[in-house]
Chains A and B, each alone.
Chain A
Amino acid sequence: MTFLPLLKSVFRREMQLAYRRRSDLANPLLFFLIVVVLFPLGVTPDMTKLADMAPGVLWVGALLANLLSLDLLFRSDYEDGSLEQMLLASLPPTSLVLCKVWVHWLVTGLPLTIMAPLLSIMLGLPGNALPLLMLTLALGTLSLSLIGSIGAALTVGLQKGGLLLTLLIMPLFVPVIIFGTGAVQAQVAGLPWQAHLAMLAAMTTGSLALSPLLTVAALRIAVGD
């Protein structure tokens, strides 16, 4: 088969698998909801204080929800052996990884972004910050999925990879969350936010270019053993 039909079939397979594990898809979203709900209960129900914290709280919640779902990115394919076959197939492995990460974003990052307005109202975030919040979350979660795929590939061969994945990947998520929340907070404060957004977009495109290569290298280690 040539490149595009093959890629399309991989994409269709991934979407089908995601659809058949609907409960796995719902878990990160529910987790996001619960984390965000814990903040008013744990810190303060005062709406003005919550509004200040809202961009950070939403970003932390989305980041953790994304992290939670990353462990499943390659695991089932690794365990049933299909990952090995895919790496041997004529499809370039980087495009395979990109396809899987893209589907991961479609089923976690995008729903998280769509859920964010509802939760931001509960936290009292000013309405004019909503479009930028959604834009940063959409870009940011894609970047998180891309960077996270490296960690998922490094830990795929381990029985208890989940906690280790968090330890490995969390430091690399730090810049993304800084610029993601920075943009929204700057807009709420009436300051120029374009520079933060540009940095976030640069990180997303940079990780788009580099992380598939590293993910493939990490998957080869896991499959090689």
Chain B
Amino acid sequence: MWQAFVRWFHKWSSPKWFYTMSQPWSFWLGWAATLIIASALVWGLMFAPVERLQGNSYRIIFIHVPSAFLSQAIYAAIAVLGLVGLVWKMKLAFFVAKQCIPVGASMALLALVTGAIWGKPTWGTWWEWDARLTSMLVLLLLYFGLWALHNAMERPESGDRAAAILALVGVVNLPIIKFSVEWWNTLHQPATLKFTEAPPMHPSMLIPFLMAIVGFYLASMAWVLMRTRLEILQRERKSRWVEDELNRFAEGQ
């Protein structure tokens, strides 16, 4: 059983297998994400109860928190994939890491924008030079730097490795974001969801909230898989099977 799983898992490291297997995976993940996010948002925005202090404005958490989670989780994934690529010289890890960058940057941008929109009614300001906000902005800049480094390199292989090194350096920012609300006195509230305690939220808010988080995870995975498929086609364009695949597309048109 375990052996079979390991063999199945290892197959993903071949670009051709990844390309073939990721098609159904991205399809089903994408649909599952759409359904979960849609129902979480309908529940959260329309049926969840009004919050005692913030009124209706709290409802932005159903977008703000999942996107902030994802922006950090994706950065961590980029760093791990970069390390895997550097250590085991696995090119597929680099492909996935590269295509995680735009997804993570979008999530970071979404978290910052929704945070600003939420900040206006609750804190009375769009922006505050607060530790959590600043470290999230740094995260967005790191994403931009990674993408720029990929684009600047003439050989994509050196771009892969250079970006992996930069991603590893940038990992120091993740604990800073996580603990910024505890180390400094900030406007931003501390974490609500913790692994060690029961969440202090009523189930009627908590369930759509958790659904939105799961939905954002699934949507990001589907998005990364789809982007990686194109990256594989581009980077492996000289291999035989990609030529066949592209010819198949051309004939299908």
Q: Using a CB–CB distance below 8 Å, which chain A residues touch chain B? A: 147, 150-151, 154-155, 157-158, 160-161, 164, 167-168, 170-172, 174-175, 211, 214, 217-218, 221-222, 224-225
CB-CB nearest in chain B for A151: B166
Query: Which one of B26-34, B90-98, B153-161, B196-204 contacts A?
Result: B153-161
By the criterion CB–CB under 8 Å, are B155 and A225 in contact? Answer: yes
Does any Cβ of A come within 8 Å of B162's Cβ? yes
Does any Cβ of A come within 8 Å of B207's Cβ? no
Does any Cβ of A come within 8 Å of B110's Cβ? no
Q: With A214-B169, A224-B158 given, can you name 17 additional A-B contacts, CB distance below 8 Å?
A: A147-B169, A154-B149, A154-B162, A155-B149, A157-B153, A158-B153, A160-B152, A161-B152, A164-B148, A167-B144, A168-B166, A170-B141, A171-B142, A174-B134, A175-B176, A211-B169, A221-B162
By the criterion CB–CB under 8 Å, are A214 and B145 in contact? Answer: no
By the criterion CB–CB under 8 Å, are B134 and A164 in contact? Answer: no
Bound CA–CA A208/B86 (angstroms) = 22
Does any Cβ of A come within 8 Å of B173's Cβ? yes
For this complex, 17 residue pairs linking A to B, each with C-beta atoms less than 8 Å apart, are: A150-B165, A150-B169, A154-B149, A154-B165, A158-B153, A167-B144, A168-B145, A170-B141, A171-B145, A171-B173, A172-B170, A174-B138, A214-B165, A217-B86, A217-B165, A221-B161, A225-B158
By the criterion CB–CB under 8 Å, are B173 and A218 in contact? Answer: no
The dominant DSSP class at the A interface is: helix
Does any Cβ of A come within 8 Å of B168's Cβ? yes
By the criterion CB–CB under 8 Å, are B170 and A171 in contact? Answer: yes
By the criterion CB–CB under 8 Å, are B148 and A214 in contact? Answer: no
By the criterion CB–CB under 8 Å, are A164 and B149 in contact? Answer: yes
By the criterion CB–CB under 8 Å, are B149 and A168 in contact? Answer: yes
Given known contacts A218-B162, A221-B158, A221-B161, A167 and B169 CB-to-CB distance under 8 angstroms: no
Q: Which residues of A contact B86 (CB under 8 A)?
A: 217
Bound CA–CA A171/B174 (angstroms) = 13
Given known contacts A150-B169, A158-B153, A214-B169, A168 and B161 CB-to-CB distance under 8 angstroms: no
Q: Which residues of B contact A147 (CB under 8 A)?
A: 169
Give the distance to chain A from B72, nearest Cβ to Cβ, in Å: 15
Q: Which residues of B contact A158 (CB under 8 A)?
A: 152-153
Give the distance to chain A from B12, nearest Cβ to Cβ, in Å: 26
By the criterion CB–CB under 8 Å, are B148 and A167 in contact? Answer: yes
Q: Which residues of A contact B144 (CB under 8 A)?
A: 167
Give the distance to chain A from B84, nearest Cβ to Cβ, in Å: 15
By the criterion CB–CB under 8 Å, are B158 and A157 in contact? Answer: yes
Bound CA–CA A214/B83 (angstroms) = 12
Q: Which residues of A contact B149 (CB under 8 A)?
A: 154-155, 164, 168
Q: A171 touches which one: B141, B152, B161, B168 (CB < 8 A)? A: B141
Given known contacts A157-B158, A164-B149, A172 and B165 CB-to-CB distance under 8 angstroms: no
Give the distance to chain A from B143, nearest Cβ to Cβ, in Å: 10
Bound CA–CA A74/B152 (angstroms) = 18
Give the distance to chain B from A223, nearest Cβ to Cβ, in Å: 10
Q: A167 touches which one: B138, B145, B165 (CB < 8 A)? A: B145
